[in-house]
C-alpha cells in the first residue's frame, strides 16, 4: 500500500515537471510559430506534456523506489560502521569549509559573467576540502569537543567505554570468564581485521589452527548471546600491507581505548607507543597466591630436570613454574620446597626454590672449620 502511494506521488511530481517543461517550451519562438500554423490549443499541448511525464514517472516509480531504498541501506550501513570520531570530524570540517566558501563567494559574486557561479564552485571545493581536513584531524577535533563535556560524560567516554580485543585473547578463551565475573565492562570492539584473521585461522588446513579459530568464533558468539556482553564489530580504514598488531595500536589511539591482549610482544610495543594495554596474563598473575622468599610450599611434584645442571622443574596448580635448585635428584617425587626468589613478568610468574630437606640439613649441620698449620 505504501509503495502504491509513493508511486502515485512520484507520478504527480512527474506531471508537475512535465507542466513546467511545457511552459518553458511554450516560450520558444519556434513553438509559437508551430502552434499558430497547426492551430492546436496551448491547453491541449500542456496537458499532453504533463500526462506523458506523469505516466512515465508512474511506470518507473517502482525502480526509483528500489534504487532509493538501496541507497538508504548503503548509507545507513556505512554510517553504522563509521566511528563517531570520523562523523564528528567530517561534519565539523564541512561546516568550516562552507562558512569559508560563503564568505568568499559573497565577495566575488559581483564579478561579471562568472560571478553567479563562484559561490556554487566555492561551496563544493571548500566543503570537500573541509571534509578531508576534518577526517584527517579528527583527533584534535574530538579534543576540542571534549572541552565542553562535563566530568560525568568524560568519565563515561573513551577509555571507560571501549576495550579493543586482539586475536590471541579471543582464541585464549579466558576473556569470556573475565567478562562473566564482571571485571571487564563496557563495549568490546572487535575490528573487522581481527574477525577476518579469526576466519582465516578457522579455515586453515592445519587441524590445531582450525580448532583454535573456530573456538575463538564460538567464544564471541557465546559472549554476545549467552552472557549479553556488548560486542561491536567495526570496520576501520586499513592501509595496504599493514599488520594486525599495527592496526590495533592505530585503532586504540584513534578511539583512546585500551587493547585487551595476552601477547607479550604486543604489550611491549604498545608501551613504547604510549597505548594502554589490559594484559590478561597480568590479571591472572595478580590473583595467584603470593609467595615471599623464605616461605614454604608444602607439596610439589618434581616432573623433570631443568636447563641448568642439577635443577628440577615443578608446577603449581595455576601453572606457575617452580625452578628447584638441586632438585634433579627428586624427579618423580613429591617434596616440600622453600622459596628463594620470585620473578614476575607479563609473560607469567616464575618461582625459584630449594628443597626443604636441604634447607634443614644445612641448618642442622653447620660447617666446621679445622685449623691447618702451614710450615714455611
Same domain, 131 and 52: no
CA distance 48 to 126: 44
Look at 40-44, 94-98, 177-181, 248-252 and tell me which has the smallest mean pLDDT.
Answer: 40-44
Backbone angles phi, psi at 310, to 5 degrees: 85, -5
Residue 375 lies in a domain: no
Residues 197, 265: one domain? yes
pLDDT above 70 coverage of the chain, percent: 78
Domain count, the chain: 4
The HSE-up count of residue 354 (CA atoms within 13 Å, CB side) is: 12
Q: What confidence score (pLDDT) does residue 345 get?
A: 66
Residue 244 shares a structural domain with residue 313: no
Q: Tell me the per-residue pLDDT of 48-96, one tens digit each, with 9 for 90 and over.
A: 778 888 888 888 888 888 888 888 888 777 776 666 667 777 788 888 8
pTM metric for this prediction = 0.47
Is there a domain that residue 87 lies in?
A: no
DSSP state letter for 219: H
**Where residue 318 sits, what CATH number does that domain have?**
2.40.50.140
Within-domain flag for 371: no
**Co-location of 161 and 43 in the same domain:** no
CA angle 123, 129, 131 (to 5 degrees): 95
Lay out the sheet containing 187-191: strands in order across: 231-234, 187-191, 162-165, 259-261, 277-279
pLDDT tens for 306-324 read 888 889 999 988 778 899 9
Task: Indicate if 100 and 67 belong to the same structural domain.
Answer: no
pLDDT in tens, 195-222: 888 889 989 888 888 998 899 899 888 8
Report residue 40's pLDDT band, with 50, 70 and 90 as the boundaries. low
In this structure, the answer to whether residues 141 and 66 fall within a common structural domain is no
**Is 373 within the bounds of a domain?**
no
Angle value at C-alpha 47, between 45 and 51, nearest 5 degrees: 120
pLDDT, one tens digit per residue, over 323-366 is: 999 888 889 889 999 999 988 765 667 899 999 865 444 444 44
Is 40 domain-assigned? yes
pLDDT digits (tens, 9 = 90+) for 92-112: 888 888 888 888 877 777 777
**Do 209 and 179 belong to one domain?**
yes
Residue that finishes a domain, picked among 223, 258, 286? 286
> For residue 376, what pLDDT is reported?
42
Whether 372 is in a domain gets the answer: no
Q: What angle do CA 171, 174, 177 make, to 5 degrees?
A: 135
| 369 part of a folded domain | no
Q: Are residues 269 and 305 in the same domain?
A: no
pLDDT at 360: 45
**Which range marks the domain in which residue 127 is found?**
94-146
Query: Which residues face 315 on adjacent strands?
Result: 321
Same domain, 282 and 321: no
In which element (H, E) is residue 167 found? helix 167-172
Q: Which SS3 state, helix, strand or coil, does residue 277 take?
A: strand
- Same domain? 182 vs 139: no
For the record, the C-alpha cell of 135 comes out as 577526517
189 in the same domain as 130: no
| 246 within a domain of the structure (yes/no) | yes
Residues 141 and 161 in one domain: no
Last residue of a domain, one of 254, 286, 318: 286
Distance CA 171, CA 174 (A): 9
Query: Is 94 strand, coil or helix?
Result: helix
Amino acid at each position: 500500500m505504501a509503495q502504491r502511494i509513493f508511486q502515485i506521488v512520484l507520478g504527480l511530481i512527474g506531471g508537475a515537471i512535465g507542466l513546467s517543461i511545457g511552459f518553458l517550451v511554450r516560450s520558444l519562438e519556434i513553438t509559437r510559430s508551430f502552434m499558430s500554423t497547426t492551430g492546436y490549443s496551448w491547453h491541449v499541448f500542456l496537458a499532453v506534456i504533463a500526462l506523458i511525464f506523469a505516466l512515465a514517472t508512474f511506470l518507473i516509480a517502482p525502480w526509483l523506489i528500489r534504487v532509493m531504498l538501496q541507497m538508504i541501506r548503503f548509507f545507513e550501513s556505512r554510517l553504522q560502521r563509521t566511528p563517531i570520531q570520523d562523523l564528528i570530524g567530517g561534519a565539523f570540517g564541512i561546516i568550516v569549509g562552507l562558512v569559508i566558501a560563503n564568505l568568499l563567494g559573497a565577495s566575488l559574486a559581483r564579478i561579471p559573467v562568472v560571478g553567479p557561479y563562484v559561490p556554487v564552485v566555492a561551496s563544493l571545493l571548500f566543503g570537500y576540502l573541509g571534509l578531508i581536513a576534518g577526517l584527517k584531524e579528527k583527533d584534535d577535533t574530538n579534543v576540542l569537543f571534549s572541552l565542553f563535556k562535563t566530568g560525568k560524560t568524560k568519565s563515561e567516554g573513551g577509555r571507560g567505554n571501549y576495550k579493543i580485543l586482539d586475536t590471541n585473547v579471543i582464541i585464549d578463551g579466558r576473556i569470556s570468564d573475565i567478562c562473566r565475573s564482571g571485571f571487564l565492562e563496557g563495549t568490546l570492539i572487535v575490528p573487522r581485521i581481527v574477525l577476518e584473521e579469526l576466519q582465516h585461522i578457522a579455515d586453515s588446513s592445519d587441524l590445531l589452527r582450525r580448532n583454535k579459530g573456530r573456538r575463538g568464533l564460538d567464544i564471541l558468539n557465546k559472549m554476545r548471546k549467552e552472557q549479553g556482553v556488548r560486542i561491536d564489530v567495526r570496520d576501520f580504514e586499513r592501509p595496504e600491507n599493514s599488520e594486525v598488531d599495527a592496526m590495533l595500536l592505530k585503532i586504540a589511539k584513534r578511539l583512546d581505548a585500551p587493547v585487551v591482549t595476552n601477547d607479550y610482544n604486543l604489550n611491549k610495543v604498545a608501551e613504547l607507543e604510549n597505548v594502554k594495554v589490559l594484559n590478561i596474563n597480568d590479571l591472572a598473575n595478580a590473583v595467584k597466591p603470593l609467595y615471599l622468599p623464605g616461605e614454604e610450599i608444602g607439596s610439589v611434584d618434581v616432573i623433570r630436570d631443568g636447563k641448568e645442571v642439577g635443577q628440577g622443574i615443578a608446577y603449581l596448580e595455576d601453572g606457575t613454574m617452580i625452578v628447584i635448585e638441586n632438585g634433579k635428584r627428586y624427579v618423580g617425587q613429591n617434596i616440600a620446597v622453600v622459596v628463594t626468589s620470585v620473578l614476575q613478568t607479563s609473560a607469567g610468574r616464575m618461582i625459584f626454590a630449594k628443597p626443604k630437606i636441604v634447607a634443614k640439613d644445612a641448618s642442622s649441620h653447620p660447617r666446621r672449620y679445622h685449623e691447618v698449620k702451614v710450615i714455611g
